Copies of this chain bind each other. A is one copy, B any other.
């Protein structure tokens, strides 16, 4: 087993928002901050900024600043970020096959 690789990878997808951001960016290239904020509704301004920054640090997301006024910044998945999608899909699929729908909580986003 590779517990450390597991932990390191989990670090990247763990938490309430990371995969949701991953899927958002995967579905919508050139996403802007406030668009993301709007699309992921109950997320907090601060948390979104925090999570995105962590994903940038991890090399999953790249930030493109247009240096315009008013501020214009776009986010995209890097190759590394894209390569994570199939991994997350496997997790979702297992849940889909093995988790009783009645156990699932309220839909947060879909």
Chain A residues engaging chain B, CB cutoff 8 angstroms: 1-10, 13-14, 16, 19-20, 23, 80, 83-84, 87-88, 90-96, 98-99, 103-105, 107-110
Question: A99 contacts B10, CB within 8 Å?
Answer: no
A20 touches B8 (CB 8 A): no
By secondary structure, the A interface counts as helix
How often does this chain occur in the complex, in copies?
2
Known contacts A104-B5, A107-B4, A108-B3; is A14 also within 8 Å of B19 by CB? no
* Contact partner, A9, options B1, B91, B110, Cβ 8 Å: B91
Check A87 against B83 for contact (C-beta < 8 Å). Answer: no
Q: Which B residues are CB-close (under 8 A) to A91?
A: 5-6, 9-10, 87, 91
Contact A5 B83 (CB under 8 A): no
